[in-house]
Amino acid sequence: MNDLTSLAKQVSNLDIPLERDVFMRTLIRELSNTLQKVVGSDQASGFISVVGQVMGKQMDNQYRQALNLSSLDREQVAEVLVDLKQRIQGDFYVIEQDDEKIVFGSRSCPFAEKVIGQKSMCMMNSNVFGSIAANNLGYAKVHLKETIAEGRPECRVVVYLKTSDEADAVEGREYFKSTVE
The type of residue at 49 is: S
Query: Cβ distance 117 to 132 under 8 Å?
Result: no
Neighbours of 123 (CB within 10 A): 24
Please tell me the CATH code under which domain 17-176 is placed: 3.30.1380.20
Q: String of b and e for 58-69 (b: at least 16 CB within 10 Å)? A: ebbeebbeeeee
Tens place of pLDDT per residue across the chain (181 aa)? 577 788 888 998 888 888 888 888 888 889 888 988 999 888 888 888 888 889 999 999 999 999 999 999 999 999 999 999 999 999 999 999 999 999 999 999 999 998 998 888 898 899 999 999 999 999 999 999 999 999 999 999 999 999 999 999 999 999 999 776 5
Alpha-carbon distance of 92 to 98, in angstroms, equals: 17
Residue 1 pLDDT: 55
Query: Strand pairing partners for 143?
Result: 158
Alpha-carbon distance of 7 to 47, in angstroms, equals: 43
Rounded alpha-carbon distances, angstroms, from residue 88 to 2, 27, 42, 108, 125: 42, 16, 26, 11, 12
DSSP states of 99-122 as a string?
A: SSEEEEEESS-TTGGGGTT-GGGH
DSSP 170: S
* Residue spans per domain, the chain: 17-176
